[in-house]
Structure 1
Amino acid sequence: MDMSLTASDGHVLTAYVNGPDTARAGVVVLPEIFGINPYIRGVVDRYAAQGYRAICPSLFDRRTAPDTGLQLGYSPEEIQRGLGYKKAIADDIARLDIEAAAAALRGQAVKLLTGYCWGGYLSWRMACLSDTFAAASCWHGGGIARHAGDTARIPVQMHFGGQDHSIPLSDVDQIRAAQPQVELHVYADAGHSFGRDATPAYRPEAARLAWERTLAFFARHA
């Protein structure tokens, strides 16, 4: 269901939440540049099916008022729209909304974090800046290499596609060299957004393996 959150600076945003209130652990899911669209809502639902309380904040609500809960598709026009919104939202501002989503998991003793594309990048940033989460799993996070020298406060897992033209393997190598303690996986035949089903980017075997690894990683830290 959709719900409203209030960040520490008073900003009101939409979030999509699913899963049992009584779950011990919660997962904050951070979206791609397409908002809380059906794919990302489906990811939240998958975590809920695993027994987690899961929530995804609508990070674009700061740029789209009075519309909330923006959901974009994958047309060239929508890609450019999403990129524009992303560029207008600084990491420290996104952090306020991410922390608000975590605070909404009031009944969960352990809070975990995952994200996709922009959300994968923000997951790494939060792992280095926030004390809220117990572990983070970052899926094809573009831009992580710019912060490869940062220090994570929590265990981190990363997933990259070996054929991802937006995240060159030289970036992945840079991250691996700077962060030897990070559990980093590369899926040789996968490109960007390889877990996004119902789109041409989807690579079922890589998506299945990355999902299983994420669940196992979270189980170890929940």
Structure 2
Amino acid sequence: MGRDIVVATPSGPVNAWRADPPHGAAAQGAIVVLQEIFGVNAHIRSVADGYAAAGYVAIAPALFDPVARNVELTYEAADFERGRALAAELGFDRAVGIVRATRDLLHGEGHRQIGVVGFCWGGSLAFLANTRLGLPAVSYYGARTVPFLDEPLQAPMLFHFGADDASIPETDIAAHRTRQPDAEVHVHAGGHAFNRDVDPTHYHPDSAAEARRQTMKFLAAALR
């Protein structure tokens, strides 16, 4: 069962959802779950809970807290625009600082094998957590990564894309392969947010299941 915690960060206290493995189970590692532009909502909490059920400590920091606290948005157009505005106001530098603080909290508890898994905007942040913090990272359909692709990887990296994602054209996927040749890249049937199981207009269950299998294999190797 997950619970709310607070992470001390350079941008002030940030709320987070924390999920731990079942009682008595030794953690296989720890994962920082990075939200979409919709905040730490029911979907992101369920993602964290799923990693905990698989044996990982999972923490999803509410990245928008420094600019707007306790944000949980819907997938309607008005909330989409608000989420984009909040992401722009926060900026990637402050977001990386929050990821660093979450990593440090886990380090302080004795966890040494720590990775990140991010979705959409959080997928691009996951890449930066790799290049700037040295954390193994999984990026699901991060559409804002291309401007940063010349930053060298510091740890294993896995990218997931949807074949029909209008926000990430084939040329962008090709740029990931060309400019980050050491990364693992998978392209799945479906479009953007194919893993978002609370959103039937985007969810592609077969692709979500395959990406999950690939992600768990990646994490088992990267965090061993």
What SS does the aligned partner of 2:196 have? coil
Contact 1:15–1:101 under 8 Å retained in 2: no
2:149 pairs with 1:145: no
What SS does the aligned partner of 1:80 have? helix
Partner of 1:53: 57
The partner residue of 2:44 within 40, 44, 50 is 40
Deviations along 1:153-197, one digit per CA (max 9) or x if unpaired, are 00100000010001111100011111111100011x310000000
The partner residue of 1:126 within 100, 125, 129 is 129
| Counterparts of residues 116-195 of structure 1 (less than 5 Å) | 116-131=119-134, 133=135, 135-187=136-188, 189-195=189-195
Contact 1:158–1:183 under 8 Å retained in 2: yes
Aligned length: 215
Post-superposition offset of 1:24: 3.9
Post-superposition offset of 1:69: 2.7
Deviations along 1:71-119, one digit per CA (max 9) or x if unpaired, are 1111111111101000111211111111122222223221011100000
Contact 1:160–1:185 under 8 Å retained in 2: yes
Post-superposition offset of 1:219: 0.2
Contact 2:11–2:94 under 8 Å retained in 1: no
Partner of 1:98: 99
Residue type of the partner of 1:108?
H
Partner of 1:196: 196
Partner of 2:72: 71
Q: 1:129 to 1:77 in 2, by over 3 A?
A: same
% identity of equivalent residues: 33
C-alpha distance in structure 1 between counterparts of 2:11 and 2:59, whole Å: 19
Deviations along 1:18-74, one digit per CA (max 9) or x if unpaired, are 01395140000000000000000000000000010000000110111xxx3311111
TM-score, structure 1 normalization: 0.93
TM-score, structure 2 normalization: 0.93
Contact 2:11–2:98 under 8 Å retained in 1: no
Residue type of the partner of 2:218?
F
Contact 2:11–2:66 under 8 Å retained in 1: no
Partner of 1:16: 17
Partner of 2:7: 5
Post-superposition offset of 1:125: 1.0
